[in-house]
């Protein structure tokens, strides 16, 4: 028995979520930007001389941070298609994960506090890659900076 149904276009689904920048959750507010943390230019000369910081800077992997507002198109892409956002292929997400392989490896994702709903939280992620594989650790944090309802509930 064949079932006739319209093919599912998951990319169109992610793009149906509201644009974060249009609602005050864009790069100007510190969201949707992937920034490498083990970048020597971010550290003072004194910090670079510390052996622990030096090891972090010389590590054989990059460490990148990003913050997203849940229920935005950018957060949906970053959560469900991290290989596209890490590669810098998602409109609305600035930067990319340095060294992220062009062949889009498997990415392990770990949510620290998955019991918190994504609907009204902002979330931060630390992404690590070594040129062959990647992973991200996500932490959900209540956004107390605004009294607005979740983006999905806006009129």
- What digits encode the pLDDT tens for the residues 49-106? 999 999 999 999 999 999 999 889 999 999 999 999 999 999 999 999 999 988 888 8
Residue 103's pLDDT is 87
Q: Which helix (H) or strand (E) holds 10?
A: helix 10-15
Among 2-11, 23-32, 49-58, 79-88, name the one with the lowest average pLDDT: 2-11
Distance (Å, whole) CA 28 – CA 80: 24
- The whole-model pTM stands at 0.84
Q: Which residues contact 15 (CB under 8 A, 6 or more apart)?
A: 73
Residue 4 has pLDDT above 70, yes or no: no
Do 66 and 100 form a contact (C-beta atoms < 8 A)? Answer: no
Residue 104's pLDDT is 80
Q: What is the mean pLDDT of the chain?
A: 88
Task: Quickly state the pLDDT bin for 116 (edges 50, 70, 90).
Answer: low
Among 4-8, 72-76, 84-88, 114-118, name the one with the lowest average pLDDT: 114-118
152: tokens are 């999905």
Average pLDDT over residues 14-34: 94
The domains of the chain are located at 17-153
Average pLDDT over residues 11-22: 90
């Amino acid at each position: 028995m064949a079932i006739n149904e319209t093919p599912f276009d998951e990319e169109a689904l992610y793009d149906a979520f509201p644009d974060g920048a249009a609602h005050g959750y864009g790069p100007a507010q510190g969201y949707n930007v992937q920034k490498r943390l083990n970048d020597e230019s971010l550290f003072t000369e004194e910090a670079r001389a510390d052996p622990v910081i030096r090891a972090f800077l010389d590590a054989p992997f990059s460490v990148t941070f990003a913050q997203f507002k849940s229920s935005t198109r950018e957060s949906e892409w970053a959560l469900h298609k991290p290989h596209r956002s890490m590669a810098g292929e998602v409109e609305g997400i600035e930067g990319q994960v340095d060294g992220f392989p062009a062949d889009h490896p498997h990415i392990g994702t770990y949510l620290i506090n998955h019991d918190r709903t994504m609907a009204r939280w902002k979330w931060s992620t630390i992404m690590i890659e070594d040129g062959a594989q990647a992973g991200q650790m996500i932490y959900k944090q209540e956004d107390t900076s605004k009294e607005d309802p979740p983006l999905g509930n806006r009129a």
